Amino acid sequence: MHMQAPDTFTFMGIVLTVLLFVVLVAIHEWGHFAVARRAGVWVKEFAIGFGPKVFGVQKGETTFTFRLLPLGGFVRMAGEDGDSTDPPDRQYATRSVSWRAAIIFAGPLMNIVLSLGLFFVFAYGSGVPEFVRIQKTMPGSPAERAGLQVGDRIVSINDQTIGADPKRIQSIIGSSVDTPTAWRIERAGTLRNVTVTPRVVDAQVRVGIVMDIQTREATGGEAFERGIQSFGDAAQLIATGFQKLVLGQLRWDDIGGPVRTAEMTVRIASSDWVTYVWWAAVLNLYLAILNLLPIPSLDGSRLLFLAVELVSRRPIPPRWENAIHFSGFALLMMLMVVVTINDIARLFS
């Protein structure tokens, strides 16, 4: 499904954007936190953001903090900060490989679960497409001259059934420049035949209509099925994006950072709740897939190190692993700064 962000900003849109970013990070870190607690690991800090601490609340044995830079979050577990006074039986490093892998994987898993749930809500809220109707005809256009009217349901074109697929209409029109096309429409319960000849307008083949997809309320089963389909489509889209990035097939302007993502989210959150839920689902899935990539400092690389430990039956020296993760984190932060500068420059261009 293709969504286009509106060109409006609202205060509620800004609030919903902040809320979404907090939930994205919080649900991810809660996955790490919950499984670590289950494994008996002492979670010393649960943080939203990086950098200097803005404020914190102590609850039980864990300090919950908000930090200055809203670029992610972390859980700090016993033994990870080099504190030799942490009880050995409460440290992350003393847990089995399976427990440590479960702790690491739980973060992306929570984003996947939330993404699936949001896609189900989106599928239910957006309804089931039933047919395409004409929302508007342009004055003097081929459609108006042929007699097409607002409210007409497009049944078929050139004997090709349209259903609820506007892309099929666009395809037929695009391949029929200056060629009469046979439209079968339904108007007030009566089927009519209309001949429309597409023309080239502004270098594009058009007939001069604005289309609207009519929907009905989805059943629970339909929402589940369409939610799964939307989840799969989004996963494929994200994977294709990463593939193009690795192969160097993306332009620099195609790469967006936190500022562009925030801008898009504010616009979408300012439109309607269905589109906002879809975007929230996509961002959750994107965060999960990104974190599962074997990039140093991300969850995927930590899982890779645990796989090496499982095969070799001995842990990688902590100083080596920490150095690799620190280097990866530094490179990610540098990349974040560069794409953020690019985002800001684009906003002012």
Q: Which of 117, 48, 113 is nearest to 288 (CA)?
A: 113
Distances in Å between the Cα of 312 and the Cα atoms of 197, 216, 295, 308 are 70, 57, 21, 6
Selected catalytic residue, list 29, 144, 186, 309? 29
Give the residue carrying structure tokens 């140093």.
296
Alpha-carbon gap, residue 165 to 256, rounded angstroms: 30
Kindly report the CA angle at 107 between 278 and 322, in degrees rounded to 5? Answer: 135
Alpha-carbon gap, residue 316 to 172, rounded angstroms: 60
Q: State how far Cα 138 lies from the chain centre.
A: 35
- Contact status, residue 185 vs residue 194, Cβ threshold 8 Å: yes
Q: How many CB atoms lie within 10 A of CB 328?
A: 16
**Helices 299-312 & 273-292, crossing angle to 10 degrees?**
30
Alpha-carbon gap, residue 256 to 348, rounded angstroms: 15
Alpha-carbon gap, residue 222 to 287, rounded angstroms: 27
217 classed as catalytic: no
Phi-psi region of 214 (alpha: psi -120 to 50; beta: other; left: phi over 0): beta
Sign of the C-alpha dihedral computed for residues 298, 300, 305 and 306 taken in this order: positive
Q: State how far Cα 291 lies from the chain centre.
A: 13
Give the active site residues: 29
